[in-house]
Amino acid sequence: MSAIEMQTHLKGLHAERVLARLEGLAADSAYMADLDEEIVATQTAFICTAVTEIASLRAELSGPQVG
């Protein structure tokens, strides 16, 4: 999954969290805890993927290194 796809998924999770609160599901601690865990995991994966994509692009732009 690309960083952009992960970012889109992360935005969807945040929207789900807001909707859950509006619908009164904030009292469902198990559901909210699972949702929060998924948000943290997705955010971590998004950051790692974005950094990797940036590093890969920089390596492509730099070309081969002569040692």
DSSP letter string, 35-65: HHHHHHHHHHHHHHHHHHHHHHHHHHHH-PP
- The pTM (predicted TM-score) of the whole model is 0.83
Tell me how many helices (H) and strands (E) the chain has. 2, 0
Question: What is residue 26's predicted lDDT score, i.e. its pLDDT?
Answer: 93
| DSSP-derived secondary structure letter, 27 | G
Q: Are 1 and 47 in contact (CB under 8 A)?
A: no
Per-residue pLDDT of the chain (67 residues; tens, 9 = 90+): 999 999 999 999 999 999 999 999 999 999 999 999 999 999 999 999 999 999 999 999 987 777 6
Task: Find the angle CA(37)-CA(26)-CA(47) to the nearest 5 degrees.
Answer: 25
